[in-house]
A = this chain, B = another copy of it.
Amino acid sequence: MTTPDMSAALRALAMDAVQRARSGHPGAPMGMAEMATALWGRHLKIDPADPRWPDRDRFVLSNGHASMLLYALLHLSGHDLSIEDLKAFRQLGSRTPGHPEVGVTPGVETTTGPLGQGLANAVGLALAEKRLAAEFNRDGHAVVDHRTWVFAGDGCLMEGLSQEAISLAGVWRLGHLALLYDDNGISIDGPVAGWFGDDTAARFRACGWSVIGPLDGHDVEALDAALRQVRATGRDEAPTLVICRTCIGQGSPNRAGTAKAHGEPLGDEEIALTRAAIGWPHPPFEVPPAVRAAWDRREAGAAAHRDWRLRFEAYRSAFPEAAAEFERRVMRDERPAGFDASTAAAPPGAAAAPAVATRKASQQVLARLGPALPELIGGSADLTGSNLTDFPGCGALLAGRIDGRHVHYGVREFGMAAVMNGLALHGGFIPYGGTFLTFSDYSRNAIRMAALMRLRVVHVLTHDSIGLGEDGPTHQPVEHAASLRLIPGLEVWRPCDEAETAAAWSAALQGPPRPSALLLSRQNLPAQSRDAQQQAAIARGGYVLSDRPAARAVLLATGSEVDLAMRAQQRLDVLGCPVRVVSLPSMTLFDRQEAAWRDAVLGRGLPRIGIEAGVRAAWGGYGCAAVLGIDTFGESGPAAALFEHFGLTVEALVDQVQQVLARPEPSEAAS
């Protein structure tokens, strides 16, 4: 068995699976075959029998379209992924989807495809390793000691996100992170020289990375030497870029080195030519036993894992509390005993602040959660004092201070969100991070990826409406609450006071893992009063905050507009027109409640009026007779003037209710 055969097996499986699926990307797997052979064949620390072993190396295929390379590696190394799975590549319901998906395929560490994000996830994975090592390792007891390896191509490095990621990795000195750059000079449109002229080595050096190469990416021995050098790098040294000059589609006589190799099957004829060229006479999906044996990592993996278990037992003997905490956080992903909704809530009998911004309420909640939940790791994209994401004693995580619990991400919203995903993927952390709601646009696809991967991350999105005032329309979200609610699996909260803010945090931290977005006000909001039943009902996402016998209409409101509805209710009482007020802190959660709850809250047969300082389309699912909202961009001005200008006032709401009730017949759904 020779190393070239190992690489040839990867090429053959990739080209044959793509051909069988009649769809896929053969070029990148074939180009990276030697890189994979060197890393997976000789260096990667994994146990195929337990892909969740906490001290395994993490491998991230940031150029996720090369998925067949990863599937071939997982199969050949001995993971629970059969040759039949490989034959089902890209078929509905298979374990080998078009792009790697965490949770679908054992051994896949993160879902990749949207370029740049895998690399940024990897920075989060490596930060998690470094941070956990600082927290749990003791002299002579390195229970956390693994590396994060990334494959990425030109596409990932063209994405701006890559700059945010490498800049953070450099400033954090993530020495256990290595990026193998598949430098093949080709992207979909052709030779990259026409649109990608960066001196990549110089760019990475400028960001504090060590650079190895360029080296021949088809020379396994050269790659092996580079990886040995990488493995000699300490955790507090610079991260390493290994530039691997490769040829896309290497092995294919007619397509190698061309964009044509990228995204379509080679075709039977070219596959036959390739078989001959790479010396692989075996039929599709057949791998000779000697090659299988060379690839099999089960024995080595089991030994490494066993060794770690012994070390962990020694650690447990010496540091039983730390070991128990490590097992809880990293291995079982459980909250501490006794942690429940009351942890986030204000202590009973605490005087409610007369009026507090929900961003401030969130900070008060964090002050209680922080000490109770050491896995919470916060941060902000350079808006700490505005997002109020820090809490007493959290400590800043920044250059030279990796043990803090509040990450200063700098002005890098997308990078923050993707790094948070990496922290969550690693295990041991529940990351949250703040920016202005409007700039969730920048990080939107990483929030989407968190939802697709079902990661427990919390986005603290403050300055959630025109209520932010003078900064104007560039900073005022209008469509963002509605738009975030559309992302499948993302829980969106817009609390109206501290009690709802605490409930939102509590829900975000418990139950099945999912990402949450907390939309919080800049401006002060009064505390609403609730009985115990109402307090508990916040966890339903929507509930009756204030009812009236013989109510003639229902006011539905979220966040800062709840108080407006409450004040309108009082005015309407005086006018002899009783109405119910429903608070909907989380439409996404409320919409998942059983019909009986929803019907009871919304009422039947009564006209509904929705109010939220954002696009009226947000209320599409609620059958409203009228909606107060904002369908245009905001304006620069003091907040009070803006609410007046946009007609979000008690008077306007009272007017609207009266108009609706004066209509001769039951009205249609809101326009």
Contact = CB atoms under 8 A, between A and B. Distances in A.
A472 B99 contact: yes
Nearest to A635: B92
Contacts of A383: 188-189
Given A21-B470, A189-B385, A621-B670, 10 more contacts: A99-B472, A114-B442, A158-B410, A187-B382, A193-B399, A194-B408, A202-B203, A439-B445, A479-B487, A482-B486
10 contacts: A92-B635, A97-B636, A99-B471, A155-B411, A159-B164, A160-B412, A171-B197, A452-B473, A479-B486, A669-B669
Contact of A635 (B97, B197, B396, B489): B97
A90 B471 CA distance: 8
Given A488-B478, A619-B620, A410 B195 contact: yes
A439 B197 contact: no
A94 interface: yes
B669 A623 contact: yes
A473 B449 CA distance: 10
Interface in A370-428: 380, 382-386, 396, 398-401, 408-412, 414-415
A197 B410 CA distance: 11
Contacts of A229: none
Nearest to A490: B479
Given A97-B635, A398-B194, A474-B113, A158 B154 contact: no
B642 A92 contact: yes
B196 A410 contact: yes
A366 interface: no
Contacts of A197: 167, 170-171, 207-208, 399
A163 B206 CA distance: 13
Nearest to A112: B474
Interface string A178-200: 00000000011110111111111
Interface of A: 21, 23-24, 64-65, 90-94, 97-99, 101, 111-116, 154-156, 158-164, 167-168, 170-171, 187-190, 192-200, 202-203, 205-208, 380, 382-386, 396, 398-401, 408-412, 414-415, 438-439, 441-442, 444-445, 448-449, 451-452, 469-475, 478-479, 482-483, 485-489, 615, 617, 619-623, 631-633, 635-638, 641-642, 645, 668-671
A158 B442 CA distance: 13
A645 B399 contact: no
Contacts of A475: 98-99, 113
Contacts of A445: 438-439, 441-442
Contacts of A162: 160, 163
B615 A488 contact: yes
B411 A187 contact: yes
Contacts of A93: 635, 637
Contacts of A642: 92
A642 B623 CA distance: 31
Nearest to A385: B188
Contacts of A202: 202-203, 205-206
Given A92-B638, A637-B93, A113 B188 contact: no
Contact of A64 (B90, B412, B442, B474): B474
Contacts of A669: 621-623, 669
Contacts of A193: 399
